[in-house]
A and B are shown apart, each in its own frame.
Chain A
Amino acid sequence: MSTFKTTEGYQIIENWMHSKNQEPFSFQYKTWQKYHSGYSGLVVAPTGFGKTFSVFIAVVIDYLNQPEQYKKGLKLIWISPLRSLAKDLAKAMNEAVDEIGLDWQIEVRNGDTPTKDRRRQERLMPDVLLTTPETLHLLFSQKKNSRWFKNVKCVAVDEWHELLGSKRGVLTELAIARIKNLTKQLQIWGISATIGNLQEAQEVLIPYKDLKTIQIKAKEKKKIKIVSILPDDVETLPWAGHLGRSLSSKIVPVIYENNTTLIFTNTRNQSELWYQIILEEEPDLIGQIAIHHGSIARDQRNWIEEAISNGQLKAVICTSSLDLGVDFKPVDSVIQIGSAKGIARFLQRAGRSGHSPFEISKIYAVPTHLLELIEVSAVKEAVKQNEIEAKPPMVLTYDVMVQFLVTLAVGEGFDRDKIYKLLKETFVFSYLTLEEFNWAIHFITQGGTTLNAYEEFHKVVLDEKDGLYKVKSRRISMLHRMNIGVIFSEAMLMVKFKSGGYIGMVEEYFISKLKPGQSFILSGRVLELSTVKDMQVLVKSSKAKKAITPSWNGGRLPLTSYLTHFLRLKLNDALQANNREPELKFLHPMLIRQAKTSHIPKSDEFLVELMQTKDGFHLFMYPFEGRLVNEIMASLMAYRISKIKPLTFTIAMNDYGFELLSDQEMPLNEDIIHSILSIENLMEDVTASINASEMASRKFRDIAVVAGLVVQSQPGTRKNNKSLQSSSGLIFRVLEEYEPNNLLLKQAYTEVFNQQLEEVRLRAAFERISKSKIVVKQTKGFTPLSFPLKVDSLRNSMSNEDLSKRIERIKKQMFKFEE
């Protein structure tokens, strides 16, 4: 122990900190000490307590102690999920090494780095490189790239909880595996916020048996204050919807009471709308509030971020775009509009305020409709009990493997046996079979299994001279580099003023619905569409009062499983007449109405509502399991009913329940309802229902992009590879027809299973239902529970009817065809 304290490196750091009147937190000291002893590990600490310096200074100390062990070039690679994070982190690190008196080059490299800086880095890499998983893979696709990595001593992954569980996390695992292969004695460190499966998080990051590992948890805790903003009277909040406009008058005082407030909305669309709402409520705030989301021009976002840091803004309406990032010192309050849909996300957002150690984070929860009051109450309960979601890691993502293999083939080429060994060592591919690996090699070299069907497909070829797999075609190399990464995006168009000046991005399909002269809102401005040319949308300012707000797809988060658990608890509480929780009191009028029009399910009851309208025959069920599981249950119910009678269903689901709608009467009575809710043959039927639904084809969208089957159009670039345009749906169909054994198809189905289904949870739900009393109610109209499904849900369809029969019937029914 004492030996570390007496090292020269530690002494220098101790003096440096003394000079600033600082002392290390105990978790920082422990990290330095363990790093010194050769450990790898995971540091778990709340934001604001200097978790960056736990790992960074550890490397500095080691260098100061034994500079002779370090060679020129890259020593530390710092991976962070966000580009915007890197710039400020590099600044802080540079300041530190300057003060310490170390001549290290610390630089950022990501998609925003200018070409001339990249070329300079490629000639001589800095000592520390702050980068993203995608940029690392791009480096792997360059010629002779291994020389950059051979002297790396440490890879640090910042905000690991944010990457884990996503394909970006898989890219990170693969990047580390390759760097470890190229170096001697690599140390791997992760930094994470608290999540439910920290031990697993550590094993995913550091699966290597030859490394000593440790988990270091900070004792320091962030104090959080949660305030619910409630309406004055109970009738104010609507049954459904997601805007919450009715509470805007309560938000303005919060903005004034605090220095700077971050207002989180769940979608970009909502943030644009809320910007307008707040200005309508309080016009004096103009110039003091701003919008920040992923589709706003980067320059503008940078400006806003700086303005927040300097305390120039009273409030910023933002989306997950500001979930992570640099510490904004002036921010002392956070408002969450609508449900954060998860406990971890809620805490993360709360933590953006009161950033300095020991300051209190303050978050105001603003429900947008009545049922969300229960969510607010559920989150509070979860925080109280300190229950935070786990982030289950992804496994066997064949699409990322295919991309990685091609990346290496574009770069230096790869040796088949060595790369198989490398993959097997990672967590994600530890269960990869040789057969599956061989399939991937076959897929990238031959295209498919049918003999002679893939003439001219020479994506990756085996170089007989050195036995390495390589990409020889420059066109394929170029296309592949453009598609490296795993973030799927809709085709985006840049929005510019005719007179010059870039405003932001909108999805192509949104613009395609507008006609020149029509107005829309972006970045808080009303714009009039002039023309669309060369992937650019040209606009001018508009004075129109009314305009459409783009709805960017995505961003509709499902409720996490942990939260649904608390939700059911709270719903049950809400039913107790003498409940004193303020949020739940507001629910009483709605519950009375539900009791009048239908029934209030008690904790040992399961409610089924049936209704007939001019739309057709409706079946509603309320498992309260979150949207993803509800969707699976809905497909399963549709499948089981259609086994009794072939039918076509439109399925709608939200976080609370689902609706099956059919144009024909469903064969339902109490007995049949019991039998379709049976736990028997559960998994067999679920598998069959997934195969019959559109879910897999939807999952295939990003698989196709990651595996390079669909060429993404790059926002802003004019090259659009017209002759290679196709939709993932078309490719899905072609593969199902001609290559049914393609592993990427299999992956689409397993992703539905793994990410959405959670067998354990589904089984538990069915067990719960089987023990419940099933209450079937015929209702005359929509009830407080079914109404939200009508107005705000995602839709799907499923049919096991013959298409011709469906058409015949539609023709007879109403003859309502439209373009």
Chain B
Amino acid sequence: MITIAEFKCVCQTETFILTNQRALYWDKEKALVLSDLHVGKAATFRKHGIPISKAVLEDDLKRLNQLILHFNAEKLIIVGDLFHAEHNSDIDYFEDWLASFENLKVELILGNHDKLQTELYTRMHLGVFQPKKDTDNLSFIHDAVAKNTKQFTVSGHTHPGVLIKGKAKQRFKLPCYQITEQQLILPAFSLFTGLNVANAPKNCKQIAFTDNLIFEV
């Protein structure tokens, strides 16, 4: 069992519950918002002769499952890199997993890794958006590089992390959410991803987390 720790956060007009399990819950829409699940990454490695267990994906999906149950979420908004590369057995596994939910709506904003054929998205009943999905107050996009919209963006892509330095030259890295006046960057959902501690946006709040804690840095 995982521990779900929550951190409430108001971004302009919206209220989000950030969790330490790498996804945020948006109560108004009964939606879980997450990024960079990279389904198929382990299988891509296996196909190329690097043995990475399928359990990597299974554990990611178990975690997502618990989050859905915990919040009674009705919708997933995935801001990109749901899939890692071409079609493979991990993706079939994901399709089966998804089919076990009767009323779960999934929206995918395509990321740079999402290169599956359109039929597959249709078959999985994914609502696909490219390059972004706009709502009244928010814009969901994979990589919010150039800020040219007035809207608040929710994005992923960078796999943000924060380097924490303590007394006695202690240092360690933790994954985090990065929040500014105009944007929120989600951590990568999959545990089989690296961390990027450089290039945080200017003046951003960083909400870091561990297996049982979530806190503002």
Contact = CB atoms under 8 A, between A and B. Distances in A.
A738 B56 contact: yes
Nearest to A473: B49
B213 A724 contact: no
B51 A661 contact: no
Interface in B39-92: 41, 43-56, 84-85, 88-89
Contact of B163 (A453, A795, A803, A819): A819
Nearest to A479: B48
Given A807-B213, A814-B167, A456 B200 contact: no
Contacts of A816: 165-166
User: Would you call the interface of chain B mostly helix, strand, loop, or mixed?
Assistant: loop
A208 interface: no
Interface in A701-755: 708-709, 711, 723-724, 726-727, 730-731, 734, 738-739
A734 B168 contact: no
Interface string B183-211: 00000000011100110100000100011
Contacts of A459: 49, 51
B198 A512 contact: yes
A817 B217 contact: yes
Contacts of A649: 168
A454 B51 contact: yes
Contact of B162 (A455, A730, A817): A817
A457 B162 contact: no
Contacts of A475: 47-48
B124 interface: no
B194 A447 contact: no
Interface residues of A, number: 56
Contacts of B113: 723
18 contacts: A447-B53, A448-B51, A453-B53, A455-B54, A459-B51, A723-B41, A730-B192, A738-B55, A739-B51, A739-B53, A795-B169, A803-B172, A803-B210, A804-B213, A811-B215, A819-B163, A819-B197, A819-B206
Interface in B3-43: 41, 43
Contacts of A471: 49
B170 interface: yes
B164 A708 contact: no
**Which of the listed residues B55, B113, B212, B215 has the most CB atoms from chain A within 10 Å of its own CB?**
B55
Interface of A: 406, 443, 446-448, 450, 452-457, 459, 471, 473, 475-476, 479-480, 512, 615-617, 648-650, 661-663, 708-709, 711, 723-724, 726-727, 730-731, 734, 738-739, 795, 797, 803-804, 806-807, 809-811, 813-814, 816-819
A817 B53 contact: no
Given A806-B166, A818-B165, 15 more contacts: A454-B53, A455-B54, A456-B47, A457-B46, A615-B168, A615-B169, A708-B50, A723-B84, A738-B53, A797-B171, A804-B212, A804-B213, A810-B164, A810-B167, A819-B206
A724 B48 contact: yes
A708 B43 contact: no
A455 B89 contact: yes
A724 B45 contact: yes
A709 B50 contact: yes
B198 to A, nearest CB: 7
A662 B167 CA distance: 8
Contacts of A817: 162, 164-165, 206, 217
A734 B56 contact: yes
A242 B168 CA distance: 25
B168 A456 contact: no
Contacts of B168: 615-617, 648-650, 661-663
A411 B184 CA distance: 51
Nearest to A795: B169
B170 A455 contact: no
Contacts of B197: 819
Contacts of A448: 51, 53
